[in-house]
Structure 1
C-alpha cells in the first residue's frame, strides 16, 4: 500500500453491468475531489459527493435501476449524472470529461491529499499562488516560509503542514506495528464491504507481528465471477498501490 493514485476502473469484459456499485461510488468520489482541486462550482462538487454517497449505500441493484430508468427518479440523481452513470453501467464507458479530469490533474496534487488536515481547497490555492504541485514542492515552500504570509494560513498552518509531511513520509516508510495495524484494520473493513469479497486477512509483516511494517499486504478471497469488479474497486480505494492475482 502506497501513494494515493486516482484511477478509473476498467470495464469488465463479460458485458453489462460493466461496473459495480462500489466502483461507480468510488469514481464519483474521485471526480468530486478532482473538481474541487480545480475550483469547480461548489454545487457541482456537492452533486458528485451526494451521488457517491447515494450509490454507495444502495440496497437495490444498480444495474436494475439503470435498465428500468428508475435511477433518474432517485432524489439527488439529475439528468446529466443519471445519463453518465447509465453510459458507464450499460456501455462500459466513463464520460470523456471525467477521463480528462483524471488525466489533467497533476498526480502530485492528489498525493498531497494524504497530508493530514490538508484539503482540496488549500491545495488549489497554494498551486495557484505558489506553483505547489507535489508534496516535495509543498515542503520546500513551507521551509522557505512562503506559505505563512498567504491569507488564511499563518505560521501555525505552515508548521502543521511540515508536521503532516513528516507523518506522511513516516507512513510511506516503515512504521510501528500498532500504527500499521490501525491502518490495516481500516482497510480490511473497507474491503469487506465490497460485493463479491468472501474473506480479507492481513498478511506479510503485519500478520507476523514484526516490530515495524513497510507496505501493508492484504489477502482477499473473492468469488470468481466478481474477480475483476473487486480488483477494480480495491484499486479505486485511496492508498492502494497495486492488486495482484
Structure 2
C-alpha cells in the first residue's frame, strides 16, 4: 500500500524510462528522474496539494506539476498513456528486469523486435543477442540472472513497504474496543529484507470486533478467509496480511510462535520435548498432565525453556540457541545507540533538500554529529566541481553547532573507479573530515577485478567507509561478485569500515555478509544514505539488519563519541 508520493514517484520514473526507450530527450528523462526522487522525499501528501504547492517542490516545474495534478484528478496522465501506447506491454516489462535497463530494452526492441520476456529468453537461447553491439555472452548471463532475480522477488515486497502496511494496521486495530495488545510478527518482526506476507497478532477476549475492523480497513481488496481466530486478506497493492487473535493469557506463547523462523521454532520445541513439555501458540504445557505452565509473556516462555529472551532479529537458528544456553547472547546495537549518520546527500548533487533542512532534521533526531557526503565529480551527471565542494564546506563550517550543538562533518561520497582509484588527488581529499567510497558503475567486472578494485579502495589512506559494499539493488541488481574474504581482510587491516546502507532497496551489507565480516574484526557504519529529509528515518532498517548480523554498539563506529570517531577516521595517517 504505497503512499500517494510513492505512486507518483513510480509514475514519473516509468515516464523517464519510457522516454529512454522511445529515444526521447535525455535531459528531459533525467528531469523526470529527479522529480521522482523529489516527490518521494516530500514531507507532505502530494495528493492533497494545489498546483502552486506542487511547483514549489524542488525539481518539479509547471509541466510535471500539471501531470501530478492530472493523475490525481483523472487516475491517469494522457502524455504518459500516449507514450505507453507506442510500446508493447512486454517491452515495458523488459525494463523491470534487473541488469537490463531502458537503453538495452530499446535496442532489443528496435533491432530484434523483442517485445516480451519470453521472446528475450528465446533469443538468448538461440544466441541472437550476440549479433548486437554491446551484447555478448557475459550480457546474456547477466540478463538471465536478472530474470531469475525478478522471478524470485515476485510476491515479496521490500521491508519498508511491509512495515508501513503493518504499522497502519496495528495502529487502527489497537483502537478497537476490547483489543488488549496488537503488534506485527513473522519475518517483519525479524527485519528480513523482503517480506512475502504480513503477520499481525492481537490479544482480546472477544475476537469479533477486531476481525470486523480488520475486514473493513479502507485498503482491503479481497478477504481471502475469515474466522474467529484468523482472517487473511489482500490489500489493494496485492500484499497478503494474516491477522490472528488470541486470548490475552496466551499472548507470549503466540508471539514467540509466530515470530521465529521455522528452524528456530523447531529448536525451541525440541528443547521443550526434552523437558517433557509441549510448546505451541497457545502456551507451554506439561506433557503428562496437560496443564498450562506458562504463556503470558515471551520472557516467561523462554525462561521456562532454560533460555534468556532471544531478540526477534536473531531467531533464525544461526547459533542463537547455543549462545543463549551458554549465556553469550550479544547486547545488540539499538537505534538509540547511534550518535550520528555518516552518509547523506543534499540538493547540491542528487538530493532534494538543501543543506540547512537536512542538518535541522538530523539535529531533531538527537544526533551528536552528522556528515554531509555529496557526490564527487567522477559521477559526472551530478556536475560536482572543486569550487562547489569548497563552497559547501564553508556552509557546513558556518552551520557547525548551530542546531542543538550538533557537530557537522564535511565529507564526500567518492566513486570507486574500475581499477580502485577514486575522485580527487590526496591533497584535496585531505581537506575532508571523512570519505565514503562506493561502486556506482561497471558492475559486470570479473570476480578478481572487483576484488582488486575494492581492496585498493580500502588501501587508500583517505577512504574511511566503503559505501553499499556489494552495490546490489534488491530485486533489480545482483551483488558484485568478489572474494569477500579478501575484501574483509583488507578492511580489517587498513581500518576501513563497511557500510550497512539502510536504504530499503539496498540493505547493503546484508546480514550474511555482516556475520562474515565481523569474524575478521571489521568495523561498520550504519548510514541512511538519505537524499531527502524523510529518508533519515530509514536508518531503523539498517539497525535491524545490523542486529541480524549480531552487531553490538562497539562494532558500529557511529555509536562512538566524536573524539573516538575522529581518531578512527584519521586511519593512522598524519594530518
Pairing 1:43-54 to 2, within 5 Å after superposition: 43-54=27-38
1:64-113 Cα distance to aligned partner (Å, 9 max, x none): 5426x132233311111112222333x33432122233444322223323
2:169 aligned counterpart, secondary structure? strand
Matches of 2:69 and 2:215, distance apart in 1: 26
| 2:99 is the alignment partner of 1:128 | no
Pairing 1:204-215 to 2, within 5 Å after superposition: none
Q: Rg larger in 1 or in 2?
A: 2
- Name the count of aligned residue pairs: 197
Quick check: which one's strand share is greater?
Answer: 2
| 2:12 is the alignment partner of 1:41 | no
Shift of 1:61: 3.6
1:88 paired residue among 65, 71, 75: 71
8 Å CA contact 2:35, 2:59 repeated in 1: yes
| 2:59 is the alignment partner of 1:76 | yes
Matches of 1:144 and 1:38, distance apart in 2: 26
Gaps of at least 5 residues in structure 1 are 1-8, 10-18, 174-182, 208-214, 240-245
Q: Higher relative contact order by CA 8 Å / sep ≥ 6: 1 or 2?
A: 1
| 2:140 is the alignment partner of 1:158 | yes
1:187 paired residue among 142, 152, 158: 158
1:197 paired residue among 168, 171, 183: 168
| 2:81 is the alignment partner of 1:99 | yes
**1:147 paired residue number:** 129
8 Å CA contact 1:198, 1:223 repeated in 2: no
Matches of 2:4 and 2:30, distance apart in 1: 22
Gaps of at least 5 residues in structure 2 are 171-182, 189-194, 201-213, 222-233, 239-474, 476-575
What is the TM-score normalised by the length of structure 2? 0.30
8 Å CA contact 2:9, 2:39 repeated in 1: yes
Shift of 1:124: 0.7
8 Å CA contact 1:32, 1:48 repeated in 2: yes
| 2:40 is the alignment partner of 1:56 | yes
With 97-106 and 24-33 compared, the bigger mean Cα shift is at 97-106
Quick check: which one's helix share is greater?
Answer: 1
Matches of 1:167 and 1:73, distance apart in 2: 38
**2:14 paired residue number:** 30
**2:452 paired residue number:** none
After superposition, the CA RMSD in angstroms is: 4.0
Matches of 2:150 and 2:61, distance apart in 1: 38
Distance 1:155 1:81, change over 3 A: same
8 Å CA contact 2:38, 2:57 repeated in 1: no
Distance 1:165 1:55, change over 3 A: closer
